[in-house]
Amino acid sequence: MHRLLPWALALLSGLLLGLCFPPWDFGNLCWVAIGPLAWALWFCEPERANWRRDAALGYACGLVFFSMGAFWLTTLTWAGYVLLVFYFSFYTAGWAVFAGSLRPKGDGMAWLGSWHNLKVCALGAAGWTAMEWLRGVIFPAFGWNGLGIAQHANIPFIQIAEFTGVGGVSFTIAMAALMLAVTVKRLLLEIGRGARKPHYDFALTVALVALVWGYGVRVLFAPAPEQGEMSFAAVQANVPQEVRNNPALESEVLEIYERQTQAAIAMQPDLILWPESSTPSPLLGNQMTWDFVRGLAEQHTGDFLLGTVHWGEKGDFNSIALLTLRGAEAQLHHKIHLVPFGEYVPLREEFPLLARIVGELVPDDFDPGSEFTVMEMAAKPLKIGPLVCFEDTLGNLARRFALDGAQAFVTVTNDGWFLESAGSLQHLRNSLFRCVENRLPMIRAANTGVTCAIDRLGVVREVLKDENGSTFIQGVLFGKMTFPLNPEPTFYAKFGEVFSISCLVVSGIWSLFAAVKFWRTKKSPCPAAGEAEPSEE
């Protein structure tokens, strides 16, 4: 049983992490989620503890976590789901090896020291934050469901993201979870010794959490900057993928949009929105599609924004178009960050097997856009940062629009690929942090999933749903959104992921020293028979 305990704890951490996110959504479990894994790494020491054992524990944790969190991918591809789970579990394995290097040698009495515990927990939290960041930037760049995302509903607590991004929120949670495990261990040691000392380590960690939360409360009660207001109507057509991708049913798709849009035009909002790739054929380049959309735009006094595809001399793009002045003028933005195996197949020519595995899901490749096009409305003096699909989960991409003067974000997406799974809700939870990081509101127009409006504090203000709370419906979300007239770029908008990168640098330096120490120990000669082992000192 003693040998099985660390494995049970590692699996428990994976389970707790998975339960933090939809469809289970027990977000507050994040405060203890990585504690069991840390206990297995630091306190369940086998006779021959080594980095391979630590890596295996972390990998086991990751298998459970990612298999739960990414299960919605099975609605699209079982093969991709399995590969993703096995691949991303290496990140938790890497963190486990790093955390194992923080474990002190000897009889464990080092855990009685407050400053030692602070150092270990801070480094462990930095390593976890670095791991989450790397997962979001290294191919295939899938950084969803970090610890910080689990606290999306804790509005005061997430406000620190305007400085640190999600990484700062994750760091604080990881620090608290690790310190909780260490404090339990310290109490057990103190009870055994019959001596108690002040727990400055635990007190300072609680103070850090309180400081972050207190800053958020201050932000919530601070006066808002000078605001403008605009009205919008976001159309959710709820078109199944097999219908949208069938050329024979194109007229049926357009009829759905026409019916919903006529209802929106009757309300005369400042902006009507259609979701990603809403027109089966390109808006620009297909006369029938252009005449159809232009005919609706001419009936509307406001502006008209929609997702479309665009075939041009410079490439084939997944795009956003903004029609102003009743369709007399058009602005176009091409999606910059493409989804691998969703919008293109990496190394398609070099490795044809990859293309055969993906099959008809990705028959051709899109090209990435290169310009951060800030769109300007005519109905209202509002500059829009356009985001397509998963781009609203990428902090470093969204902030570029904020730096270029955007006053609000607009996301057009199509989560219909994932049916009525948890994928669309996870997508929303990750995207709302772009609002906090840049202090800008967002409108999300989805083909199906979650069509909603989010304010600059990350609060989801309005959602399209039925009387049962389902967001997988056909309809139009009418609402109003306030936006800053003269937004000042936040610290995050200016400097991006400097906090997470700093965590990576600190973790890397520690890992380098730990590796050097490990190899020196491996190369040192064993003591001769009868000689004493060299002391730790």
Q: What is the pLDDT of residues 392-407, one digit of tens each?
A: 999 999 999 999 999 9
CB 321 within 8 A of CB 306: yes
Kindly report the pTM of this predicted structure: 0.92
**pLDDT range class, residue 141, cuts 50, 70, 90:** confident
Q: What is the pLDDT of residue 274?
A: 96
Q: What is the pLDDT of residues 77-107, one digit of tens each?
A: 888 899 899 999 999 999 999 999 999 987 7
CB 395 within 8 A of CB 496: yes
Yes or no: domain 227-345+354-487 corresponds to CATH 3.30.465.10: no
Residue whose structure tokens are 């772009």? 434
Q: What is the pLDDT of residues 228-261, one digit of tens each?
A: 999 999 999 999 888 887 888 888 999 999 999 9
Which strands form 271-273's sheet, in the order they lie side by side? 329-334, 315-324, 303-312, 271-273, 227-236, 475-484
Distances (CA, A) of 324 to 298, 447, 473: 9, 22, 28
CB 205 within 8 A of CB 179: yes
Closest CA to 453 of 387, 409, 390, 393: 409
Bridge partner list, 316: 311
CB 460 within 8 A of CB 454: yes
What string of H, E and C letters represents the secondary structure of 195-262? CCCCCHHHHHHHHHHHHHHHHHHHHHHCCCCCEEEEEEEEEECCCCHHHHCCHHHHHHHHHHHHHHHH
Which DSSP letter does residue 3 get?
T
CB 488 within 8 A of CB 466: no
Average pLDDT value for residue range 32-54: 87
pLDDT at 46 over 60: no
Q: What is the pLDDT of residue 226?
A: 94
Q: What is the pLDDT of residues 319-375, one digit of tens each?
A: 999 999 999 999 999 999 998 877 787 767 666 666 666 666 666 788 999 999 999
The structural domains of the chain, with segments of one domain joined by +, span 5-222+498-521, 227-345+354-487
Average pLDDT value for residue range 425-448: 96
Q: What is the pLDDT of residue 248?
A: 86
Burial class, 39, CB count within 10 angstroms (exposed 0-12 / middle 13-18 / buried 19+): buried
Can you tell me the distance from the alpha carbon of 457 to that of 393, in angstroms, rounded to the nearest whole number? Answer: 16
What percentage of the chain has pLDDT greater than the value 70?
Answer: 93
Can you tell me the distance from the alpha carbon of 1 to that of 8, in angstroms, rounded to the nearest whole number? Answer: 10
How does the average pLDDT of the chain come out, rounded? Answer: 91
Q: What is the pLDDT of residue 535?
A: 39
